[in-house]
Amino acid sequence: MTVKTDISRFDIHDELTAPDESARLLAGMSTAGGSVSKLVGVLAGSPAALRAFARMRHELRGGALPRPTRERIALAVAESRGDTYSVAQHSRTARAAGLGLDEISRARGWGSSDPREAALLAFLKELFDDGGRPAAHLLEEAREVEWSDEELLEAVAHVALGEFQSLMANAAALPQDQSDPSVLPSAAAA
**What secondary structure does DSSP assign to 152-185, as a single string?**
HHHHHHHHHHHHHHHHHHHHHTPPP-TT-TTPPS
Taking Cα atoms as reference points, which of 140, 77, 148, 24 lies closest to residue 89?
77
- Alpha-carbon gap, residue 123 to 156, rounded angstroms: 9
Whether residue 108 sits in one domain with residue 54: no
Range of the domain at 151: 67-172
Assess if residue 83 is contained within a domain: yes
Whether residue 122 sits in one domain with residue 47: no
pLDDT at 144 over 70: yes
Q: Which of 12-16, 82-86, 185-189 has the lowest mean pLDDT?
A: 185-189
Whether residue 84 sits in one domain with residue 43: no
pLDDT at position 139 is 96
The residue-averaged pLDDT of 71-96 equals 97
pLDDT at 155 over 70: yes
Whether residue 74 sits in one domain with residue 88: yes
Taking Cα atoms as reference points, which of 61, 45, 59, 57 lies closest to residue 11?
45
Cα-based distances in Å from 133 to 112, 127, 142: 22, 6, 15
pLDDT at 57 over 90: yes
| CATH code of the domain containing 118 | 1.20.1290.10
Whether residue 156 sits in one domain with residue 91: yes
Assess if residue 144 is contained within a domain: yes
Specify the higher pLDDT residue, 179 or 115: 115
Whether residue 24 sits in one domain with residue 102: no
Whether residue 9 sits in one domain with residue 47: yes
The residue-averaged pLDDT of 59-86 equals 97
pLDDT band at residue 116, thresholds of 50, 70 and 90? very high
- Reported residue count of the chain is 190
The DSSP H or E segment spanning 53 is helix 47-61
Cα-based distances in Å from 64 to 24, 68, 100, 155: 29, 12, 22, 9
Whether residue 150 sits in one domain with residue 81: yes
Domain end among 62, 81, 115: 62
162 in Cβ contact with 80 (< 8 Å):
no
Assess if residue 55 is contained within a domain: yes
pLDDT band at residue 133, thresholds of 50, 70 and 90? confident
Whether residue 82 sits in one domain with residue 163: yes
Q: Which residue(s) pair with 12 in the sheet? A: 3
pLDDT at 112 over 60: yes
Share of the chain above pLDDT 70, in %: 86
Assess if residue 179 is contained within a domain: no
Report the domain count for the chain.
2
Whether residue 32 sits in one domain with residue 112: no
The residue-averaged pLDDT of 20-35 equals 80
Assess if residue 185 is contained within a domain: no
- Count CB atoms within 10 A of the CB of residue 84: 21
Whether residue 82 sits in one domain with residue 56: no
Name the amino acid, one letter, at 113.
S
pLDDT at 41 over 80: yes
Whether residue 73 sits in one domain with residue 162: yes
pLDDT at 177 over 80: no
